[in-house]
Amino acid sequence: MQTLEGNSLRIAVQNDGRLTGSSLELLKGIGLEFEDHERRLFSRCRNFDLELLFIRDDDIPEYVQDGVADLGIVGRNVVRESGAEVEEVEELGFAYCTLSLAVPRESDVTAPRQLGGARIVSTHPRSLRRWMEREDLDAQVIEIRGAAEIAPALDVADAICDLVSTGTTLRMNDLRPVGDLWESQAILVANPASLQSRDRYDLIERLVVRLRGVLTARRMKYITLNAPEEALPRIQDILPGMKSPTVVPLAEEGMVALHAAVTEDVFWDVMERIKEAGGSEILVLPVEKVML
């Protein structure tokens, strides 16, 4: 595969897997227009100087390290396991999971330090070995590509080290978690040389500002309500994420309308507490994009 030439920025995205849908949704969410049906190897953006490269997620760290792509969207676990030299630019807030150790439910093991001498099957052997070294744990690591969860039942392992998100796979295989190595989520990574190159950096910066805008907006809500003026301090206590609200007097004496962006989710119980504090006609709206 050719390495970077010309000025188009290139971003590597998983071609078919857990990350694909959310990665493409995020890129479309920042206004990029491109074809993703069939997920051919390449797709050009119609309205940004960017090319998408669809590949297996395991290849993304190396491709970004080697400059085949400037950027990549990939699980932090895959980057750590690869050992590739790439820069983490942004956490993307999806594909959350934990790299965990688990043992059969009936096992006596209750903590990772009791796994000395054990056989541990792992989908992330390099990460596990590094962690064991730090924890001064000596165990036998057996590499496996997938389906680590069936190894204890086949008596080829005493424990497993694998990604866990809901915990259903562990439960269905009569396994019990005994410790976490670290947490992971999808991240945006960059080729270090691309971050040093003037024109590439400018394009990356524009993309990252937009990404942050969409990611911040996902955490925000826009709230409007009416309240007696003297209730405002109490309402601000209920919504500590509210920064400099707009307060407008209403025709009714002593009543104001309040508009503000809040950084936390406004659940029903928060709205009920605002109402108790004197708020009325409370509207909570989603925020689509933010540029600070």
**Which of Zn ion, ligand PRT, none sits in contact with 59, Cβ below 5 to 8 A by type?**
none
**Which of ligand PRT, Zn ion, none sits in contact with 19, Cβ below 5 to 8 A by type?**
ligand PRT
Q: What whole-number distance in Å separates Cα of residue 287 and Cα of residue 219?
A: 8
Query: Is position 51 an interface residue for Zn ion (rule: CB under 5 A)?
Result: no
Binding piece for Zn ion, criterion CB under 5 A, among 53-61, 63-71, 99-107, 258-266:
53-61
* Minimum CB–partner distance for residue 58 and Zn ion (Å): 4
Residue with tokens 């405002």: 232
* Minimum CB–partner distance for residue 166 and ligand PRT (Å): 3
Half-sphere exposure of 57 (CA within 13 A, CB side): 20
* Minimum CB–partner distance for residue 143 and Zn ion (Å): 14
Residue 228 CB-density burial (10 A; 0-12 exposed, 13-18 middle, 19+ buried): middle
* In the complex, residue closest to ligand PRT by CB: 75
Concatenated DSSP letters for 44-112? E-SSSSEEEEEE-GGGHHHHHHTTS-SEEEEEHHHHHHHT---EEEEE-S-S-EEEEEEEETT-S--SG
Q: What whole-number distance in Å separates Cα of residue 154 and Cα of residue 186?
A: 32
* Minimum CB–partner distance for residue 100 and ligand PRT (Å): 9
- Residue closer to Zn ion by CB (options 36, 58) is 58
Exposure class string for 89-98: b at 16+ Cβ within 10 A, else e: bbebebbebb
Query: Is position 57 an interface residue for Zn ion (rule: CB under 5 A)?
Result: yes
* Minimum CB–partner distance for residue 184 and ligand PRT (Å): 5
Phi, psi (rounded to 5 degrees) for 221? -135, 155
* Minimum CB–partner distance for residue 256 and Zn ion (Å): 54
Query: Is position 36 an interface residue for Zn ion (rule: CB under 5 A)?
Result: no
- Residue closer to ligand PRT by CB (options 152, 213) is 152
Site residues (CB under 6 A) for ligand PRT?
A: 17-19, 56-58, 75, 77-78, 95, 97, 123, 162-169, 184
- DSSP annotation of 160 reads E
* Out of 8, 18, 58, 142, the residue judged to bind Zn ion by CB under 5 A: 58
- Residue closer to Zn ion by CB (options 58, 90) is 58
- DSSP annotation of 284 reads E
- DSSP annotation of 282 reads E
Binding piece for Zn ion, criterion CB under 5 A, among 50-58, 62-70, 200-208, 223-231:
50-58
- Residue closer to ligand PRT by CB (options 4, 11) is 11
Could you tell me the sign of the dihedral formed by the alpha carbons of 30, 32, 38, 42, in that order?
Answer: negative
Query: Within 10 A of 161 (CB to CB), how many other CB atoms are there?
Result: 28
Binding piece for Zn ion, criterion CB under 5 A, among 52-60, 93-101, 105-113, 282-290:
52-60
- Residue closer to ligand PRT by CB (options 95, 203) is 95
Could you tell me the sign of the dihedral formed by the alpha carbons of 29, 34, 36, 42, in that order?
Answer: negative
Q: Which residues bind Zn ion (CB under 5 A)?
A: 57-58
